Amino acid sequence: MRKILAVFLFLTLSSIILLNFNGWRVYQFKKNSELKISNMEKLILPKVCEDRVWEINLSKNIIYFFENCELKSMMKIAHQSRPGKWYQTPTGYFRLGTKRERHVSSYFNVRMDYAVQLYEDYFIHENPRFLNGRYVTRNFSAGCLSLETDYAKKFYSLAKTGDLVISYLDLDHIQLNDGFFFPVNRQQFYVKQRFNNPLRTRWLYVGNKDNLTYDFIQHSGVDLAPNPNVQDLNVYSIYDGKIARIIKNGQNDYGMGNTVIIEHQINNRAIYSLYAHLSSIRSDLKEGNVIKGGEVVGRVGATGFGCDYWRIERDGCQEKDKLDIHLHWEIKTKPVLSSPKPAQCFINGKQDKCYGYTPDDPINYGYFNPLDILAKK
């Protein structure tokens, strides 16, 4: 409860500050410039083939709309939230919620028209304006995605409540540091949940923001999911090291499923990479064995329960469900499944241990952002 109050105070007090620098200005788009679908883009496949699928590519700042697996429309995102904060634009799978042509923010005295609910208080809407109609600042965002008016109207008219939305990051722009390997085939995977992604575990809004209560946890690793045309489902060691632990699905896996933890010596200190939810672990791997960077560890799967909190409307991971197969990948200071430093996560109003999540920024609990370790700045 103390945390809830602190969060609410933060939201209220920082609104003015947020107006000034919270927004993460990503692209300077010309107004009214229509995005045309090129012949190359016509070949793009959706991550999942449903009759109506929206994809939000947070790396490219583009929203794609697929109907019956065919790309039908593209819209530019004007602003998203600065990544790395708990209020950042969420990654993951969602179903579109309510639509409001006229929408006033529950936190700030601003209008965010043509608003479509992505997830709880995260909306996709027109660039915010003061109640007198003047645009606030082009940099305003508190987690929501804002679009220029023409795109916001287009999105609003096409969007239907219940449509599947996949909000994700690309991997193709990443340049690796010397000696490092990517844990999956980068051309065939995407980030379906990023490090530090906020995840609400409780949300009680009874129309009065003073009584708003919510808890959230933050993702301690990166979830990498395969594209539909995936051929290489191998998981690779990210660096030279030694097998620290092999944990099999079932007993004491705490929902991580088949997991391998590898010890690496980087800058004269031991750090550990963890690979969870594997469908299989390479049979000749033994604890204590030396392993080279780029060597196969196992195969990406859906063992354990990596899907129950972030996956809307479903519990648990299923091998046969394409949306559930992913690698949960962490880098941390200890060879353990849980948080290296003691942590309690609030889940559905109850205190619980933290596996795959931390109560606030995972950096405070002995985790590193895996992409920061691997990628050149």
Residue ranges that bind Zn ion, judged by CB under 5 A: 223, 328, 356
Shortest reach from residue 219's CB to Zn ion, in Å? 6
Give me the sheet containing 296-299, strands edge to edge: 234-236, 296-299, 280-281
**In this complex, which beta carbon is closest to Zn ion, that of residue 215 or of residue 223?**
223
Question: Could you give the CA distance from residue 366 to residue 348 in angstroms, rounded to a whole number?
Answer: 24
Alpha helices in the chain (DSSP H): 2-13, 15-21, 149-158, 370-374
Query: Could you tell me if 282 and 299 are in contact, meaning their C-beta atoms sit under 8 angstroms apart?
Result: no
**In this complex, which beta carbon is closest to Zn ion, that of residue 121 or of residue 223?**
223
**In this complex, which beta carbon is closest to Zn ion, that of residue 22 or of residue 220?**
220
Q: From the centroid of its chain, how far is CA 187?
A: 18
**In this complex, which beta carbon is closest to Zn ion, that of residue 22 or of residue 196?**
196
Q: From the centroid of its chain, how far is CA 76?
A: 19
**In this complex, which beta carbon is closest to Zn ion, that of residue 55 or of residue 223?**
223
**In this complex, which beta carbon is closest to Zn ion, that of residue 103 or of residue 311?**
311
Shortest reach from residue 197's CB to Zn ion, in Å? 9
Shortest reach from residue 22's CB to Zn ion, in Å? 26
Question: Could you give the CA distance from residue 332 to residue 271 in angstroms, rounded to a whole number?
Answer: 6
3-state secondary structure of 124: strand
**Which residue is nearest to Zn ion, using beta carbons?**
328
Q: Please report, as a single letter, which amino acid is at residue 262.
A: I
Shortest reach from residue 139's CB to Zn ion, in Å? 30
Shortest reach from residue 362's CB to Zn ion, in Å? 11
**In this complex, which beta carbon is closest to Zn ion, that of residue 304 or of residue 356?**
356
> Which residue shows structure tokens 């790395």?
84
Shortest reach from residue 183's CB to Zn ion, in Å? 13
Give, for 59, the enclosing helix (H) or strand (E).
Answer: none
Give me the half-sphere count of Cα atoms (radius 13 Å) on the Cβ side of residue 346: 17
3-state secondary structure of 256: coil
> Which residue shows structure tokens 């996956």?
311
How do 115-119 and 99-100 pair as beta strands?
A: antiparallel
Total length of the chain: 377
Shortest reach from residue 223's CB to Zn ion, in Å? 4
Shortest reach from residue 356's CB to Zn ion, in Å? 5
Question: Could you give the CA distance from residue 364 to residue 359 in angstroms, rounded to a whole number?
Answer: 9
**In this complex, which beta carbon is closest to Zn ion, that of residue 122 or of residue 275?**
275
> Which residue shows structure tokens 């043509």?
114
